[in-house]
A = this chain, B = another copy of it.
Amino acid sequence: MNAHSVRKLFDAVRRGKLTPDDAVARLRHLPFEDLGFAKVDHHRALRAGFPEVILAQGKTARQVAEVFARLASHGTNVLATRASKMQYAAVTRREPGAEYRELARAIVLQQDRRKYGKGNIVVVSAGTSDIPVAEEAVATAEVMGNDVEHVYDVGVAGIHRLLASRATLSRARVVIVCAGMEGALPSVVGGLLRVPVIAVPTSVGYGASFEGLAALLGMLNSCASNVSVVNIDNGFGAGYVASLINRL
């Protein structure tokens, strides 16, 4: 054991068998990883308000349920993304308090309902087909202790719909924008506001959308300077980044 070997050094020093200088010298030659354990508690301390997260996709219902229950025992919130109803059924037998957010395909267990975010996160979607990704962002942000509002179906081809939502948008401390097809919405939203905008390209679209590539490139080339981008369909990542920003 690592702690053990370090302890032996201190013992030797105390018993005068080793000078402090020699002890430092020896420590210097101990394999790096023997001290790797050192940060564990700090990490624990830093975790307050961070959910435990499971990527359910590709796991059996039973596996998800087992991991979910184990993580739930930590007392923090638990989030399983890209989860099926069948996986939820298995989870709920172990954790009756877990709820299933169908649109977001997420299983959520909220054991810690404190607010860690200082302001509002507003999640915007361009079309109705982008809503599953947007809802994954919503679920993530809520489970991380944020007040979340959403504005859906405000794509740029009907700019008046977006403008009609400016009141909601202006309440945001951070904005998440989910859009497929040409991925233009983050630029327009970014231009209207002075807060950070997290853009999520979605794989929604046909033909030359190339499974979200068109939207991704569009967002990376946004002419609005306050936009940064996460991976295609990565609602979870957007919700996570936005939550981090919102607790600053």
Residues on A lying within 8 angstroms of B by beta carbon are 3, 6-7, 9-11, 13-14, 16, 19-21, 23-24, 27-33, 35-39, 41-42, 46, 50, 53, 58, 118-119, 126-127, 129, 155-160, 163-167, 170, 173-174, 180-184, 187-188, 190-192, 194-196, 198, 201, 203, 205-234, 236-238, 240-241, 244-246, 248
A226 and B244 contact, CB distance less than 8 A: yes
Known: A29-B41, A222-B182, A232-B207. A196 touches B245 (CB 8 A): yes
CA distance A119 to B187 in the complex (A): 27
The oligomer's copy count stands at 8
Nearest-Cβ distance from residue A165 to partner chain B, whole angstroms: 7
Residues of B within 8 A of A246 (CB): 248
Report B-chain residues with C-beta under 8 Å of the C-beta of A37. 28, 164
- A10 vs B194: C-alpha distance in the bound complex, in angstroms? 32
Alpha-carbon separation in the docked complex, A33 to B192 (Å) = 11
